Amino acid sequence: MNILIVGLGYVGMTTGLVLAEQGWKVTGLDVDKGKISSLRQGVLPFYEPGMDLLLTKHQKGGSIDFSSDPAEAIREHDAIFLCVGTPSAPDGSANLTYIRQAAQWIGEYGQDYKMVVVKSTVPVGTQECISSWILDSMKDPFPFDVVSNPEFLREGSALSDALHPDRIIIGSDNAKPVERLMNLYSKLDCPVFVTSPKNAEMIKYASNAFLATKISFINELARLCDKAGIQIDQIAQGIGLDPRIGGSFLKAGIGYGGSCFPKDVHALLHTAREQQIRLSIMEKVVEVNQTQYLVYLDKLEQRLTSLRGKTIAVLGLAFKPNTDDIREAPSLAIIRHLVEKQALIHVHDPAATLPEYLQSASVRQCATCEDALRGSDAVILCTEWMEYKTADWFNLRKLMRGTAFVDGRNVLDGKRLASWGYDYMGLANG
């Protein structure tokens, strides 16, 4: 099988490299010519641990190459993986422009059998739309199948998640593409669950919605535990020992961000509205997430009396460690709030960059964590990068003007920091 990956973001690059690693020959297609020329030189458009090495390996070995020519790429490949973005439209629905464009290319340029594998996160029923977009743009008839095959990788650990998946979901009503896809994935050791396309599409949303629910559940409970003097991490550990609950995604903090949970929960809510169904639990999941950072900022404001004119070091911009992705990162909401309160903000992140719209006289990005802390009245840790977890906080304290320390991820030893003179504030971890 000749494999074509359409869309070279996290999902596309990971899928392509993992298939190359399994011994398949892969071509990556993207209309962004700048991205293609960088990739040809081995330069990734984003930071993802280990991916540059795997890219170099497979470029040298000749198992991956790149193209920006949809016509030629589609003609020459029979297994086409759609990995393009499905960003949120203003009404919360998933914007399917790029999916539709790719489907139209397939219809227009395809000549013989194509297996179209949908890896992008798409609303229930999209597989049927893709089929009709292909048919509508077909010049001469050719056979094809559209299979739903959602992806469950996490940024920051994308390669290991994709090389060691916990399950493969295949949504198809047709045995031929299921067999072909199982053959493509035959070296991956995990359960394969075959279901209908609509079910597969919903499994993806339900997975992300459930994980987001776990996070908002523990975050809201942390608000109560904070007042009652109860340690939320101990509660998470205790309940997590019950296999019906499970211990993961119960880490309390300033809330979830990223390109997936916020977008997918909104898209699910949009689908529910279309069906005139109210998903009240999901509505609350969003509400808790959108207000969680305020719990921390309220504590800080009370401690400093006012944020006006105070210098605050914000450590971590990325929505999670080991990525430079800042989409929907809680740090951005925190910075916007601090700007409104007329604070001065020093930002640091080991990989991510402050977006232009936030750059101003009162917000500046510093090259090092030390620069950000110098002269600050308070520090807010937004992303649990290893660099911050292992920093020499005893000596760093001397660079600061004040002592307030907000641990937005409950990752540092509050008692130790307090013994070094910090006014440590976590949530329910005293």
Tell me which amino acid residue 166 is. D
Distance CA 133, CA 131 (A): 6
Query: Which is it for strands 168-171 and 114-118: parallel, antiparallel or unpaired?
Result: unpaired
Give 251 or 310: the residue with its C-beta nearer to ligand UGA. 251
Listed ranges 122-130, 208-216, 274-282, 369-377: which one lies at the site for ligand UGA (CB under 6 A): 208-216
Give 116 or 215: the residue with its C-beta nearer to ligand UGA. 215
Least distance CB 320 / ligand UGA (angstroms): 4
Which two structure tokens, joined as six digits, stand for 283? Answer: 């509505």
Interacting residue with ligand UGA among 57, 154, 273, 284 (CB under 6 A): 154
What DSSP letter does each residue of 214-250 carry, written as one string?
HHHHHHHHHHHHHHHT--HHHHHHHHHTSTTT-STT-
Least distance CB 253 / ligand UGA (angstroms): 5
Interacting residue with ligand UGA among 58, 320, 346, 348 (CB under 6 A): 320
Residue 63 per-residue DSSP state: S
Interacting residue with ligand UGA among 46, 142, 249, 420 (CB under 6 A): 249
Mark residues 120-149: x for contact with ligand UGA by CB under 6 A, - for none. -x----------------------------
Give 98 or 319: the residue with its C-beta nearer to ligand UGA. 319
Say whether 129 is catalytic: no
Contact 400, 336 (CB under 8 A): no
Least distance CB 66 / ligand UGA (angstroms): 22
Which two structure tokens, joined as six digits, stand for 123? Answer: 């609303």
Least distance CB 138 / ligand UGA (angstroms): 31
Interacting residue with ligand UGA among 35, 251, 310, 346 (CB under 6 A): 251
- # of chain residues touching ligand UGA (CB under 6 A): 20
Distance CA 108, CA 139 (A): 6
Interacting residue with ligand UGA among 155, 226, 233, 377 (CB under 6 A): 155
Interacting residue with ligand UGA among 85, 110, 253, 350 (CB under 6 A): 253
Listed ranges 66-74, 151-159, 189-197, 366-374: which one lies at the site for ligand UGA (CB under 6 A): 151-159
**Residue 333, CA atoms < 13 Å, CB-side half-sphere:** 20
Listed ranges 255-263, 333-341, 369-377, 422-430: which one lies at the site for ligand UGA (CB under 6 A): 255-263
Interacting residue with ligand UGA among 39, 163, 260, 315 (CB under 6 A): 260
Interacting residue with ligand UGA among 109, 217, 256, 405 (CB under 6 A): 256
Whats the size of the chain, residue-wise? Answer: 430
Mark residues 212-231: x for contact with ligand UGA by CB under 6 A, - for none. ---x----------------
Least distance CB 36 / ligand UGA (angstroms): 23
363 binds ligand UGA (CB under 6 A): no
Element (H, E) at 117: strand 114-118
**Helices and strands counted in the chain (H then E):** 17, 14
151 binds ligand UGA (CB under 6 A): yes
β-bridge partners, 114: 144
**Which of 39, 37, 57, 427 lies closest to 254 in space, CA to CA?**
427
Measured between alpha carbons, how far is residue 234 from residues 16, 241, 266, 358, 428 in Å? 40, 11, 31, 37, 10
Listed ranges 46-54, 66-74, 111-119, 253-261: which one lies at the site for ligand UGA (CB under 6 A): 253-261
Give 46 or 142: the residue with its C-beta nearer to ligand UGA. 46
CA 24 to chain centre: 26
β-bridge partners, 365: 347
Q: Where does residue 199 rank: exposed (0-12), middle (13-18), buried (19+ CB within 10 A)?
A: middle
Question: Which residue intervals of 279-326 are DSSP H helices?
Answer: 280-304
At which residue do the structure tokens 């700048």 appear?
A: 34
Least distance CB 309 / ligand UGA (angstroms): 30
Residue 360 per-residue DSSP state: B
Residue tagged active-site, from 83, 225, 260, 369:
260
Contact 379, 301 (CB under 8 A): no
**Residue 107, CA atoms < 13 Å, CB-side half-sphere:** 17
Active site residues: 260
Interface residues with ligand UGA (CB under 6 A) are 121, 151-155, 208, 211, 215, 249-251, 253, 256-258, 260-261, 319-320
